[in-house]
Chain A
């Protein structure tokens, strides 16, 4: 294998990994609770700003992880309790309320940190040799980490008792409640886990991207369009990541970033139109 092919393959894997990582949290919230969390991207953005903050304080990057967990987790709990819970039966209203929340978070971060671009330095950005091609260690670590998180979640969801309760809640919330499953607490936990994952993905991506308060929208849309394919099923998530991420990466490398983005939008429109129940639904 020549080094060009290896590089392309690694880049594709990296693109797909970041897409999967930022989508995972939204997939949990949407797949389990049916909530279209329009503020998802803002939680990713806040994770990235957690990294900016610890860098300002002169702490190592790893300390951004607990900071992001605490901030996103606490905020996620409050949002689920006081914003989402009263609106579970009203899908448009949850969409709008979380949208307003997204604006609020964006403007608050803008007011605190300013509009300018920020960068986060990482010690791991040096390249290493993979099959003869130099590739940044940090990116490799990200790919491995994403695979590990997805595998872990998959086994937890399929094998553990808690996963079974969650699946019961998703399939039939009222019956699950009647069986003594605390669906309210479970829903709250699922939401918190979803946004904490979003925050963590923000921390992880921070050294690789230019950070500004408006980045959330891009992650949100990509994530949504991935979800369109799967609607919460893991197979659908992989399919969506593959199709959307693959098409974007390939088109971008041939015809530029804007075309890649346009292709993603077009694929999403076609998905939403032809397969409103998800790519892998049985309906």
Chain B
């Protein structure tokens, strides 16, 4: 059963934690509990960093907020028990803040680079200042003291079990999530966010949700910290704690559910014990951290894991999947202009197409062919004119919104998710626009099928042979086939194909053209295809558009294009 396989790390942890108080004593268990709390916070950091690929240097903010808020609620509740009702809110509020921060930041720029890390770092430092300054609320430098125990627990005995249960719970939740489709989506964000947007995933929202989830875990850890320590000082929100969370996650293993807990408990506990005795202990920890960054990107957990088992769908009937978009769309570009860094790329291009079938775009280098696709899919700013899909204006919309309205795009250099299996790559395309509600949390979604998928796997034998291999190991031709499949699987009304035959042998080109023809016909899409090879254009048939210097030069059947003096002039050079 998939559940039991995914629950293994949590079960192992539960066994160890259950035995600990008997193997040692209550006081050691009390001390270990503190590092379990830190470990849960580090699990939050690792979720964003190890799975989605963006590093938060500000998780101490959520830890400290959770600690202060729950500490305040516990104190108030010791007089008036009704306050206990606010405890869940105290834990959830930092997560809400995290969601808002991430939405606002990622809406501006979805890039997850070091800038996001620096913003979170600055926010933490601001939080630290606030905690020090607002001494009326937080107790200032001396901290918020005399926080009572959680009701029904005693700090030095039974609280350990609450914390251990939370740690097992968080490990279980994380292991289950990453084994599900949402885990695939998270990893895809880390590997190739642009491709994911072109499939119609709103990556900024997915990242904001994950950030909020990780903040929730960290804030829960903060609440447990308040109950465990009985005092919260500004250090619980500080720069140093943020640093330590990152180090524990890195040393333990940022891409594993158990790793950060291990890192925090081992490094943290050892530090607490040895810091006083060995003067160079902290320098040794820093050296260990350098070594991990250089040589062990997946930390200690990465050493222990031997070849991750592939994700498997649960047995059961796959959900019948409806077709998300209406076929036979129309696309019209009117007088569009775009440019970058002062260079005008498209200069009043007008072009329209309606109904199913394949059209080819040709034109010399720099004519603006790929830029036209970039403009339609929201990669370049629209500086004039408009773009209409089925009569609706889609100009200037972000890539994922355009994709959701039924425009699929294949890149010039095949763009796939290299570390995900071919099956998962195809799955991501299949779920785009079809997965609703909790579908991404269900194992059954991993087994979704459509007739088109069966057809594609029949046409490209190589893909069905390599279903469980990483897409990055595919040969160029097979990668082109995979990306074509990913572009077509959402069954979009408009398909933009940028040189799908680039880098293919003549035999592969022939096969690819036949596949494109039959698959596009099958989904009834209108396809625009950029191609340089005239024999391929001839084989594909249909209308041909010639672009030159950012405008449409000529349009018509290939024979008419080949006879056109204007086209001949730009290709062979000519005089008027």
Contact = CB atoms under 8 A, between A and B. Distances in A.
A276 B118 CA distance: 11
B129 A224 contact: no
B287 interface: yes
A266 B126 CA distance: 8
Interface residues of A, number: 36
B126 A265 contact: yes
B113 A99 contact: no
Interface string A212-248: 0000010001001100100000000000000000000
A175 to B, nearest CB: 18
Interface in B245-295: 246-247, 250, 279-280, 282-283, 285-287, 289-290, 293-294
Interface in A55-103: 83, 86-87, 91-93, 95-97, 99-101, 103
A96 B114 contact: no
A107 B282 contact: yes
For chain A, what secondary structure do more than half of its interface residues adopt (helix, strand, loop), or is it mixed? helix
A269 B290 contact: no
A100 B267 CA distance: 15
Contact of A101 (B49, B108, B123, B286): B286
Nearest to A283: B341
B342 interface: yes
A266 B105 CA distance: 14
A65 B445 CA distance: 66
For chain B, what secondary structure do more than half of its interface residues adopt (helix, strand, loop), or is it mixed? helix
A97 B293 contact: yes
Given A97-B294, A276-B115, A217 B239 contact: yes
Contacts of A224: 118
Contacts of B192: none
B534 interface: no
A104 B282 CA distance: 8
B173 interface: no
Contacts of A268: 118, 122
Contacts of A225: 122
A273 B250 contact: no
Contact of B294 (A87, A99, A258, A276): A87
A135 interface: no
Interface in A141-189: none
A96 to B, nearest CB: 5
Contacts of A273: 104-105, 108, 119
Interface of B: 49, 55, 104-105, 108-109, 111, 113-115, 117-119, 122-123, 125-126, 129, 132-133, 239, 243, 246-247, 250, 279-280, 282-283, 285-287, 289-290, 293-294, 297, 341-342
Given A83-B290, A87-B294, A268-B118, 11 more contacts: A36-B114, A92-B55, A92-B114, A97-B294, A101-B290, A103-B243, A103-B289, A225-B122, A228-B118, A269-B126, A274-B108
9 contacts: A83-B290, A83-B294, A92-B114, A99-B243, A101-B286, A101-B290, A103-B283, A103-B286, A265-B125
